[in-house]
A and B are shown apart, each in its own frame.
Chain A
Amino acid sequence: MNIINFTPVPAFLGGALIGLAVVLFFVFNGRLIGISGIVSNFLTSKNNRFDNFLFIVGLIIAPTLYKFFTSQEINILISNSFFLLSVAGLLVGVGTRIGGGCTSGHGISGMGRFSLRSIIATITFMIVGILTVLVKSLV
Chain B
Amino acid sequence: MLTRTTLTVAGLLVLAVAASAQNPGPGRGRGRFGPAAGNAAAPGGARFLGAEAGMPGRVVKNAPYSADMVTESTQTLADGNHIRQSSTAKVYRDTEGRTRREQSLNALGGLAPTSNLPQVVFINDPVAGFNYALNPQNRTATKSAWARPGRGGQAPGSNQSMTRLRQQSVDRSAANAGRWGRGAAARQNIKSESLGRQTIEGVPADGTRTTMTIAAGQMGNEQPIQIVTERWYSPDLQTAVLSKRTDPRMGETVTRLANISRAEPPNSLFEPPADYKVAEAGNRTGRPAAPPAQH
* Binding between chains A and B: no
